[in-house]
Amino acid sequence: MSTTEAEPLLRDGDSESSFGITKEQLADLVDPKSPDLLREYGDVEQILKKLRVNPTEGLSSDEGLGEGSGKGGAFRDRRKYYGKNILPDVASKSLFSLIWEAYQDKTLIMLSIASLFSLAVGISEDYSSRHPEGEPRVGWVEGVAILAAVAAVVLTNAINDYQKEKQFKKLNAKKEDRSVKLIRDGREKQVSVHEINVGDIL
């Protein structure tokens, strides 16, 4: 494929309107793969032209850094139009939601009901007319002790799950941040996977 057949690289100051194909159209090409759609868009060479990429030189590291290009660094317009190669963070569960999940254990629910029943009976006996004079009112202690034990179990499980989720998120982020080889400025380079742009030649 001749480099003279491809259109020039994205010029400094060009806006995202310089691209001849949308991210939705690119997604339709690969998910699912559609040879018919590729022919409709004019084959691989035409798509490269629409993406403003030289098929042998790759993207230019100076793209978007020219005078009057404004802030945003290299590939500003390209990333603004197509987005960055970074997956959105998965929403983490809050500690409150983990507490609620931990409390859904049937045994804990039964213990809670039993403790409330014990607490009600204990208080009733403590303040009934049949309670012996001078005796301490401790009928509530058993119910409260069971409730405290249930709360301790729920909080311990929820906090452990919360810490595990945070640790998993960090490990997953490290796993995703790997290096890849691509062609830029006519040379093979190694960059973070998060630095790949739409139009980069791998």
- Domain range list for the chain: 3-83, 95-176
Residue with tokens 């739409």: 198
Q: At residue 191, what are phi and psi to the nearest 5 degrees?
A: -135, 165
Q: Between 34 and 184, whose confidence is greater?
A: 184
Most confident among 45-59, 143-157, 178-192 (mean pLDDT): 143-157
Q: In this structure, are residues 32 and 43 in contact, taking their beta carbons and an 8 Å threshold?
A: no
Residue 182 C-beta-side C-alpha neighbours within 13 Å: 22
Separation of alpha carbons 103 and 95, rounded Å:
12
Separation of alpha carbons 131 and 194, rounded Å:
73
**How confident is the model over 140-151, as pLDDT tens digits?**
889 999 999 999
pLDDT, residue 171, reads 86
Separation of alpha carbons 27 and 41, rounded Å:
13
pTM equals 0.55
Going by the DSSP 8-state scheme, the letter that residue 54 receives in this structure is B
Average pLDDT over residues 142-169: 93
> With 90 as the cut, is the pLDDT of residue 164 above it?
yes
Structure tokens at 164: 């595990």
**How confident is the model over 55-73, as pLDDT tens digits?**
899 998 888 765 445 555 6
Mean residue pLDDT of the chain comes to: 82
pLDDT, residue 133, reads 78
| CB count in 10 Å sphere of residue 134 | 5
Q: For 45-49, 89-93, 150-154, which range has the lowest pLDDT when averaged over its residues?
A: 89-93
pLDDT, residue 16, reads 45
Q: Is the dihedral of CA 72, 77, 80, 82 positive or negative?
A: negative
Query: Strand pairing partners for 192?
Result: 179
